[in-house]
A = this chain, B = another copy of it.
Amino acid sequence: METQDAVAALAALAQETRLEIFRLLVAAGATGLPAGKIGEHLGLPSATLAFHLKELKHAGLVTFTRQGRSLIYAAVYHRMNALLGYLTENCCQGNPAACGLPAPRKEPA
């Protein structure tokens, strides 16, 4: 992952509402959640929700597929993985132990 992409992903997650959306989608797993359910869970007006989903989508952290009239959103794990890889490689002295982490498996995505 390049620095530009890392900045985009970090910016997408650096907002309470969006971080909560992402966490909810992670918890929902591979099946994902329709936009409506997300808004319901977090009590968000539709326009606000759409705005944040667009940001996450733009950063590559979520995708969606249509199912009837619902759009089902899901977390993109490999993107999160790539972000964690970037951070451990670039912000832990190339030595993850410096940040208390075990050796990372080389970023695949």
Q: Point out residues on A near B: beta carbons under 8 Å.
A: 3-4, 6-7, 10-11, 13-16, 19-20, 22-23, 26-27, 29, 75, 77-78, 80-81, 83-85, 87-88, 90-93, 98-105, 107-109
Closest CB-CB distance, A13 to chain B, in whole Å?
5
Q: Do residues B91 and A87 form an inter-chain contact, with CB atoms below 8 A?
A: no
Give chain A's interface secondary structure class. helix
B81 near A101 (CB under 8 angstroms)? Answer: yes
Residue of A3, A80, A108 with highest tally of chain B CB at under 10 A? A80
Q: Who on chain B is nearest to A15 by CB?
A: B7
Q: Which residues from chain B contact A13 at a C-beta distance below 8 Å?
A: 10, 14, 91
The answer to whether B29 touches A93 (Cβ under 8 A) is yes
Instruction: Return chain B residues, CB-CB under 8 Å to A87.
Output: 80, 83-84
* Shortest Cβ distance from A103 into B: residue: B102
